[in-house]
Structure 1
Amino acid sequence: DEAEIPPTRTKSPTVAELQYALISARPYEMTSDDVLFEVFATRNEIAADKRTEAREAFFAKDQACLRSSPLGKRYGWGIHHDADGRVALVAVGSDDYRALALTPR
């Protein structure tokens, strides 16, 4: 019914926590692929100088998209894509969420 921020874990951040931090800090700056890879790279401690080749390898095989993210499935966040494919979070039950849900595609 309402969005909640994923709880912070002390040991290592969860996928939801990392995705939330990235998207909420930079709305409409990253694509869903950027978010997915950045979370993967962070969790796997991939050095900055290795990320280009790691990204190519990451997307060489099928990956789940943000529709399967715990942000939407568990924490009540809608993920809105702009015309350029960049993403932002929209809280379920908010006025913005209702307006976007009623907007024809």
Structure 2
Amino acid sequence: MSPTTPKRPTVSPITPTRPITPKRPTVSPLTPIRPITPKRPTVSPLTPTGPITPKRPTVSPLTPPQLATPKCPNTDDARWNALVDAACLRWEQEHSQDRRE
């Protein structure tokens, strides 16, 4: 005969075998799920947020904008004319050699 195995104790269905984990509480739809992050404080438009940058000066529309005219040397100057002539001759010589080659 085989050795008799002891019978398992009968457990009533009311007694749980492991601890009961509590259910998650039901959250009403009005309650937010995550905590509300605080909003950034509203700054009134009169309060400056940073250093005040000066505004560009307003130009009246009646005055036309003045164009910056480049200052050119006096064309009556003999030295200037000699430099221009020398540069023109040098340019013509360089380009005439390029054409021959």
TM, length-normalised to structure 2 = 0.19
Higher strand share: 1
Q: Which has the larger radius of gyration?
A: 2
TM-score, normalising length: structure 1: 0.19
Higher relative contact order (CA 8 A, sep 6+): 1
Greater helix proportion:
1
